[in-house]
Amino acid sequence: MKNLRLIVLPALGGLAVTGILVRAGQTAQPQVKRPLVIELGAGGRVPLRVIGDRYPTFSGISMDVESDEVVLTDENRTSILTYGRLFQGTDRVIEPRREIMGPESMVGRTCSVAISPEFQELYAVNKDIEDNMIVFPLSATGNVAPARELRTDHGGWGVSLDRKHDEIVITTQHNNKVAVFSRSAKGEDPELRYIQGPKTGLASPQGVHVDGEQGEIYVANHGHWRHTEPGEGRLKEPASVLALSTGKYLPASITVYSRTASGDVAPLRAIRGPRTRLNWPEGIYLDTDSGQLAVANSTDNSVLFFDRNADGNVPPLRVIQGPATGLANPVNLFVDTMRDEIWVTNYEDHSATVYSRMAEGNIAPIRAIRSAPKGAPASGMGGTSSLVYDPKRKEILVPN
């Protein structure tokens, strides 16, 4: 080694050069310090253990009542599944008739879906990764591109179609907004109008239902509120000024607006308060025959029903809840007035359960679509953004 000498140079070029080995009489050649590379997966290290859920977890639901098909969105595997409406009551897994899935499809964490029988289309809202609504023909299957994509604000959640006025309504939980688009909107098309601002009472809005006949929009709110300026969204960035915080906790609520409301407007009515039993309400659907609003009350595993004209701190007219119901973190629902049924998706049970439209109490479902064997645990993970280890309990904590 006596012919070698070490020369230390500052960083050069694209990679750091920490030293150059030079043999006496030779031209110096940089020796790039390369990282220790560890390969995982094929040809590399394999995992010791895996935590995951290989089955679909249902979130959004809608129905083509004329073709007897129900469409369910799967946030776990990121797919859109179509099943027949009628099937034998069984605890076995039911295979879908069609499945839209794959990178071409752009199907992400689709939390809500709506259907247009007239235009034979489905509208699925991807929440806070893709930030869009994708539209497919009802007959679509496989890894197919959507017919069109509409860009939405960050954190879209609910979607509802106004068939009478050919409009589509989308909620965004991150900026407390209800946006109304033309049904055929695509790309960066702006809203026709929106409801947003401090007077609206919108607070982490989730599910939405628009009644084009009566001219009202119903919104389920978790109650987590911060000030948002009217218009805030993808086309108008919020202020970046370090200012006084505005956040606060409001009671969970159902807020009601005129279909044509625009801007920072107060709700016509608001169902909120301890008697309502609202606790993380998510999907909402108006049963136009009974005049009742059905609400998927996710945290206490119940479905609540309110009169559509209810206002204030009122108890629900009836409740589906109890161990016989099979409700497990209910997310969305659909009322089939033609067959007197109500459908509910259960995020933590790989199931969509069906009840009589006027069911009440601790009642077993008439039948259920299962995407996994009964009792198969759902991981509950959805959009994991960090992990942390608790050494005291030797547990992994997974925020979603």
Partner 1 sequence: MSRTNHVIAVDTVHDELVVANPFAEALLFFRGGADGEEAPVRVIQGPKTMLGYTDNVGVDPQHDEVFVAQSRTNAILVFDREAGGDVAPKRIIRGPKTGLDSARNVAVDPVNNYLAVSNRGARNVLIFNRTDEGDVAPKAILGGPKTGMGIYMVVLDSKTRNIIVPSGSLSPQTNRDVGFIRVWKYGDNGEEAPPRILVRGIKSSGPIIALIPETKNVWIEGGKRPDSLNLYHLPELFE
C-beta of 358: minimal distance to partner 1 in Å? Answer: 29
> CA-to-CA distance for 187 and 169, rounded, in angstroms?
16
Q: Which of residues 172-191 bind partner 1 (CB under 8 A)?
A: 173-174
C-beta of 387: minimal distance to partner 1 in Å? Answer: 4
C-beta of 204: minimal distance to partner 1 in Å? Answer: 5
**104 φ, ψ (degrees, to nearest 5):** -65, -30
Distances in Å between the Cα of 120 and the Cα atoms of 111, 200, 239 are 20, 34, 41
First to last CA, the chain: 57
Q: Which of residues 124-183 bind partner 1 (CB under 8 A)?
A: 128-129, 155, 173-174
> CA-to-CA distance for 245 and 225, rounded, in angstroms?
11
Only one of the segments 30-38, 62-70, 161-169, 319-327 lies at the binding site for partner 1 (rule: CB under 8 A); that segment is 30-38
Q: Which helix (H) or strand (E) holds 209?
A: strand 205-211
114 bridge partner residues: 123
C-beta of 162: minimal distance to partner 1 in Å? Answer: 25
**Neighbour-count burial of 365, counting CB atoms closer than 10 A to its CB (0-12 exposed, 13-18 middle, 19+ buried):** buried
What DSSP state is assigned to residue 309?
Answer: T
Q: Which of residues 328-367 bind partner 1 (CB under 8 A)?
A: none
C-beta of 367: minimal distance to partner 1 in Å? Answer: 26
C-beta of 196: minimal distance to partner 1 in Å? Answer: 14
Residue number, 292 or 346, with CB nearest to partner 1: 346
Amino acid at 333: L
Q: Are strands 224-225 and 193-196 parallel, antiparallel or unpaired?
A: unpaired
Only one of the segments 22-30, 237-245, 259-267, 353-361 lies at the binding site for partner 1 (rule: CB under 8 A); that segment is 237-245
Site string for partner 1, 31-70 (x = CB under 8 A): -xxxxxxxxxxx-xx-xxxxxxxx----------------
Does position 8 interact with partner 1 (CB under 8 A)? The reply is no
**CA nearest 64: which of 79, 80, 88?**
80
Residue number, 25 or 52, with CB nearest to partner 1: 52
Does position 76 interact with partner 1 (CB under 8 A)? The reply is yes
- Residues with Cβ within 8 Å of 137's Cβ and at least 6 positions away in sequence, in order, are 120, 121, 122, 147
C-beta of 52: minimal distance to partner 1 in Å? Answer: 3
Q: Which of residues 91-130 bind partner 1 (CB under 8 A)?
A: 103, 108, 128-129
